[in-house]
Structure 1
Amino acid sequence: MHLLPEPVRRLAAWCAVALLVSGVVWIVVRLCVTFRTTVTPVLLALLGSALLRPLFRWLVRGRVNRSLAAGITCAAVLLVVGGVGYVVALALIDSGPQIATSLENAARSLAAYAGTAGASLKDLAAHAQQLLSKFGGTAASNVISGVSVVAEYIAMAVLALLLVFFFLRDADRALRGLRTLAPGGSADTAEAVARRAFAAVEGFMRGTTLIALIDATCITVGLLLLSVPGALGLGALVFVGAYIPYLGAFISGAVSVLVALADRGVVVALWVLGVVLAVQVLEGHVLQPVIQSRTVQMHPAAVLLAITAGASVAGIVGMLLAVPLTAAAFGTLHELRERYP
């Protein structure tokens, strides 16, 4: 080893460290995928605790018992999430047929402009019934597996809600346990890193929720003023899509433009595109810097890579969890950099 030049030895050392870290990360990811029914509720509960902790702290400062305060917070979550879910579902149910019809009209218009490709699309539509009958057995089995997946998601949601209760009530006890498990004299560092990571997730969740509400309100008002059908449903889609940065805004904005193009023509579609772009500019240059100024600022490339990695590991749930977990990782790195420059 000493026969090698110094730069080569340093490169070999860094390669060994990279391989070791990559191996540990790969093992952790595989374990998380294997035990996803346990890991996913824990991660969702951490996100829920980060979002609901201000309400819990306010109740505790009002001399409410910690267990009672955690119970009230979870009950408030059920009421709020249930109410919002009911409103969103009602809007999508009322607007769903209009949106589907508009998208179908847009597809037909594209087929008409596409010439030969349009004929292929029409042939595909004509043979759709034959294809459905051919793969009917597969569809039936998929329905059965889909029911089991829904049941699994419901079980994970219930477990996540119960974990939110315990995370809120026993957060101080968890920190004391972390300090006990920290080796040597690293208890203060471990607690500081944990607090910084949780604060990054907390700020990200609160800021994203507020930004999603503002985006959905502005775009819904714009769609209503332009008389675009299904405005409430499209606004609900914008609100949900805001939790997947960049990609969610692109998909919801594209759907809104296509619906406007199919029902109101090119001029209104351009106006809708202008509204969507204006809201995105407002979000990028005003809302993000002001609302999330105290959280970890992540480069868009890092966010896109995190979303892609999350989708490849755990699908839609991975896409939702990827950015908050990346925010926690960035918060941890910033804390370590401040302590060990």
Structure 2
Amino acid sequence: MHEVEGHGGSGRVSGSLPRGVRLASEWAWRLLVIVALAGVVVYLVVVFQDIVVPLMVALLVCALVAPTVGTLRQHRWPKWLAIVVCLVALAAILGGLVLLIVWQVRVGLPQLERESVAAYNRVRDALRQPPFSISDHQLAGYLSQAGAFLQKDSATILGGALKVGTATGHVLTGSLIALFATIFMLIDGRGIWNWIVRIFPRSAKPGLTAAGEAGWRTLTSFVRVQILVAIVNAVGIGLVAFFLGLPLAVPIAVIVLLASFIPVIGAIVSGIVAVAIALVFGGPIQAVIMLAGVLGVHLLEAHVMQPLLVGGAVKVHPLAVVVGVAAGTGLAGVPGALFAVPFLAVANAMITAMLHSHDRPAPIDEHGETETAPHHESEVTEPPGGD
């Protein structure tokens, strides 16, 4: 294939293909390689999710407690003591939430039983009226059919129970992996990151260093902001349930708190649960008030907290958030929905930092080599973990 001189002395182009077609073909195979690599990565993540999920949980926990560990170390606390105190405090907070739910359920169980009977009577009376006009005999028949359906599919239910038992073992194993990974990241996070950077060529080290700093800074900001948003949502919806006199107001608030860590889906599910409880135990008016309260809290989040707080920590377009959450849910269920947004935010920050890494000179250590991590003491801006 002969070569001819391009117009304007811009270089040689193929004599058989126009310049635009050749550029399109070059970009096409590059995109195919990127898509294939992404597909392999996604496949490996799905296959090894029992290991990947605990490691990602460890990263989130590390991003949460690392700033506190850094603050304690600045006050001359030993590293091991700062790590132990932060992890024990986090475990105490989570355990306290669980105990609070159990205590509230036990205290409100008699009232819950009475209100459940009253709610059943209200539903039965409503079904007797037009347009339903369902008699007690028909209602009993429907309940009998539902019981027969459950009995018919008892094997499936039993299989699901067995799967739950197996999942419990996976949860315990994953919890241990997450605990040890968190401890080691807090102890020697910089060393782990430096080891990862050394795998790549020396010319790539400045870009990876900048990417690590930006990604870690974004992850720590995201975790702290998301916790603040979750607390505001939980307190707001919990107060609405409390003033409406609904049972289990505290468990409702805790459900909203936990669900707020899953963008979009968590808000919808927790809102449906709160409105359903208000409808069953309060009535249509209470359900409408609860719906208004849920919408008000989420509007406050969307128009005040998201632009002021979340927008600065997660510089990702809302459409990308929705698509990412949907894709994560389809690939890995609830863990995929939970990690979709921080993954997108960190990936966006790291790619942007790598693209602009040539704008700043890479630091040189005493041996004349490129440094792979910053030497300042800030636990927030360095790659995962300690110094």
Task: Normalising by structure 2, report the TM-score.
Answer: 0.78
Deviation for aligned residue 1:31: 1.1
Instruction: Indicate the SS of the match to 2:210.
Output: helix
Partner residue in 2 for 1:81? 94
Partner residue in 2 for 1:322? 340
Higher CA-based Rg: 2
Instruction: State the AA in 1 paired with 2:73.
Output: V
Instruction: State the AA in 2 paired with 1:125.
Output: L
Q: Which one is further off, 105-114 or 222-231?
A: 105-114
Partner residue in 2 for 1:157? 175
* Cα 1:149–1:211 shift into 2, 3 Å: same
**Equivalent residues of 1:261, 1:269 under 8 A apart:** yes
CA offset digits 1:11-37 (Å, max 9, x no partner): 222221221111111111111122222
- C-alpha separation between the residues in 2 aligned to 1:106 and 1:183? 71
CA offset digits 1:40-95 (Å, max 9, x no partner): 11111011101111111112112222233222222222222222232244446666
Deviation for aligned residue 1:244: 0.9
**Equivalent residues of 2:54, 2:175 under 8 A apart:** yes
Partner residue in 2 for 1:126? 144
Partner residue in 2 for 1:290? 308
**Equivalent residues of 1:111, 1:121 under 8 A apart:** no
- C-alpha separation between the residues in 2 aligned to 1:10 and 1:120? 71
Instruction: State the AA in 1 paired with 2:150.
Output: L
Deviation for aligned residue 1:256: 1.8
2:28 to 15, 20, 40: 15
> Aligned-pair RMSD on alpha carbons?
3.1
Query: How many residues are aligned here?
Result: 341
* Cα 1:266–1:136 shift into 2, 3 Å: closer
Partner residue in 1 for 2:261? 243
Partner residue in 2 for 1:307? 325
* Cα 1:103–1:164 shift into 2, 3 Å: farther
CA offset digits 1:190-228 (Å, max 9, x no partner): 111012112111111111111111111111112211223
Deviation for aligned residue 1:265: 3.1
Identity %: 26
Any stretches of 5+ residues in structure 1 without a counterpart? none
Any stretches of 5+ residues in structure 2 without a counterpart? 1-13, 360-387
The answer on 1:72 being equivalent to 2:85 is yes
* Cα 1:305–1:2 shift into 2, 3 Å: farther
1:38 to 24, 39, 51: 51
Instruction: State the AA in 2 paired with 1:143.
Output: A
Partner residue in 2 for 1:144? 162
**Equivalent residues of 1:102, 1:259 under 8 A apart:** no
**Equivalent residues of 1:198, 1:328 under 8 A apart:** yes
Partner residue in 2 for 1:199? 217
2:287 to 269, 287, 300: 269
Partner residue in 1 for 2:276? 258
Instruction: State the AA in 1 paired with 2:90.
Output: V
Task: Normalising by structure 1, report the TM-score.
Answer: 0.88
The answer on 1:229 being equivalent to 2:247 is yes
Partner residue in 2 for 1:210? 228
- C-alpha separation between the residues in 1 aligned to 2:267 and 2:120? 21
2:200 to 176, 182, 190: 182
